[in-house]
A = this chain, B = another copy of it.
Amino acid sequence: MTDKLTPVSHEITRIGWIGTGVMGLSMCGHLLDAGFKVSVFTRTKSKAKALLDKGAVWAESPMAVAHNSDVVFSIVGFPPDVREVYFGEQGVLRGLKSGAVSVDMTTTSPSLAVEIADAARGQGAFALDAPVSGGDVGARNAKLSIMVGGDDAVFQAVLPLFRLMGGNIVHQGQAGAGQHAKMCNQIVIAGTMIGVCESMVYAAAAGLDPTKVLESITKGAAYCWSLENLAPRILKGDFAPGFMIDHFIKDMGIALEEARRMGIRLPGLDLVERIYKEASALGHGRDGTQALYQALRKMSIG
């Protein structure tokens, strides 16, 4: 396999990109800026305009993108979207050539990543799962954390491209391991979010000045990214995303499904998912994750 791949790694010139949301636009833009030829597909062609203006070439389907490419990247929405992009009638796997590599950077299920990798291998191609964290700012500044699953030789071949998008790139293990690592990330965030939001609910109920509370607690053992970055937004009544509640519910659902499959219980994550679902039911689905505070307050006060 390494032999088969080596030529690819020295000749990655044609890149494919599927999915041009906020993240994809920035990430693909870095590859174009580096001088790569990129063919692009996304569900709504108008959303690819910025990339086409930069010299990307439009392709009519994921299959067509794959057909044109040594390495195809995808970053789309939900697991069913990923499934359609790869396994659909006009999907990546119909176009992926022997020796080529597909890289799904969507946060999706580890099991689906394994399915894709198996299917790619079955046709003499390769697949990596490479979800990211760092948000729109990380994407724009090419400082993403990229968590990669798949064969090491394939990871090494694609690494120069990852370096154009990310600042912290770690090969986590075999197919699916990138997605699993991303789930670990989201599980920690779920804990920090419930802690931060309940703390702010408590502070309000106790009649404290929450700004002073943050002054006392932000630098010590309670420190977390969410406390520093999202608690001040809560206090300002700023519930814009950031990271959207409905997307976070998707991620937590994946982690819980995998946990069930692996036979482990994650009671904390389970609770946080349920509360976020209540937040979504209350109309906060398209707000940022910090809007958990509003749902908790509503639930708390009863």
Contacts and interface: CB of A to CB of B under 8 A. Distances in A.
Interface of A: 110, 133-135, 138, 145, 147, 168, 170-173, 177, 180-181, 183-196, 198-203, 205-209, 212-213, 215-217, 219-227, 229, 243, 255, 258-259, 262-269, 271-272, 275, 299-302
A73 to B, nearest CB: 19
A209 B149 CA distance: 12
The number of times this chain is found in the oligomer is: 2
Contacts of A145: 216-217, 219-220
A212 B262 contact: no
Contact of A216 (B170, B222, B255, B258): B170
17 contacts: A138-B220, A168-B215, A168-B219, A173-B207, A181-B213, A188-B192, A188-B199, A188-B222, A189-B195, A189-B221, A192-B195, A201-B264, A205-B263, A223-B225, A224-B226, A263-B302, A268-B271
B170 A224 contact: no
A195 B190 contact: yes
B212 A268 contact: no
Contact of A181 (B133, B208, B229): B208
Nearest to A299: B265
Most chain B CB atoms below 10 A, which of A170, A216, A264: A216
A140 to B, nearest CB: 15
Given A221-B135, A222-B189, A184 B172 contact: no
A138 B222 CA distance: 14
Contacts of A212: 170-173, 181
B189 A191 contact: no
A217 B262 contact: no
B180 A191 contact: no
Nearest to A134: B220
A220 B225 contact: yes
Contacts of A262: 202, 205-206
Contacts of A265: 299-300, 302
A189 B212 CA distance: 18
Q: Which has the most chain B C-beta neighbours within 10 Å: A215, A255, A262, A264?
A: A264
Contacts of A188: 192, 195-196, 199, 217, 222, 224, 227
Nearest to A200: B184
Nearest to A215: B170
Contact of A187 (B135, B187, B195, B226): B195
